[in-house]
């Protein structure tokens, strides 16, 4: 008979050997993860919604069939806006990731002694 799969990712004997296990349990690290999640989840939902609205609108409504300007339809404008949104999102993420990297470095510096480095 097989052993049931353990939900604990660290074997009890390995917990003492892995100093980063203690680091991920700190409030500083949990705060960092919470801040990252608070940014990443809504932005991901926005991007996925923005991306999938184009085919839904194009297939089921006439909203995007009208002329926007110079003979270009709203479908083309929306499709080109997707490129703009992706570039802006990428730039914003790069700026935010620098902030998160600094926070992570501060956490590592703060707990350097406990990590044995």
The answer, as to whether pTM is greater than 0.85, is no
Which token pair is 73?
């339809």
Q: Which tens digit of pLDDT belongs to each residue from 93-107?
A: 999 999 999 998 988
pLDDT at 97: 93
Closest C-alpha to 54, from 79, 80, 88: 79
Backbone phi, psi, residue 68, to 5°: -85, -60
Q: Which tens digit of pLDDT belongs to each residue from 63-74?
A: 888 888 888 889
Percent of the chain with pLDDT over 90: 44
pLDDT at 35: 93
pLDDT at 82: 93
Q: Name the residue with tokens 């406990």.
A: 114
């Amino acid at each position: 008979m097989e052993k049931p799969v353990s939900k604990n990712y660290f074997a009890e004997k390995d917990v003492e050997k892995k100093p980063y296990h203690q680091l991920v349990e700190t409030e500083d690290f949990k705060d960092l993860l919470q801040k990252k999640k608070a940014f990443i989840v809504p932005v991901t939902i926005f991007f996925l919604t923005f991306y999938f609205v184009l085919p839904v609108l194009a297939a089921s409504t006439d909203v995007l069939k009208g002329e926007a300007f110079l003979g270009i339809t709203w479908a083309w404008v929306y499709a080109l806006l997707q490129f703009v949104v992706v570039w802006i999102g990428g730039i914003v993420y790069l700026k935010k990731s620098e902030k998160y990297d600094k926070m992570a470095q501060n956490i590592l510096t703060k707990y350097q002694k406990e990590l044995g480095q």
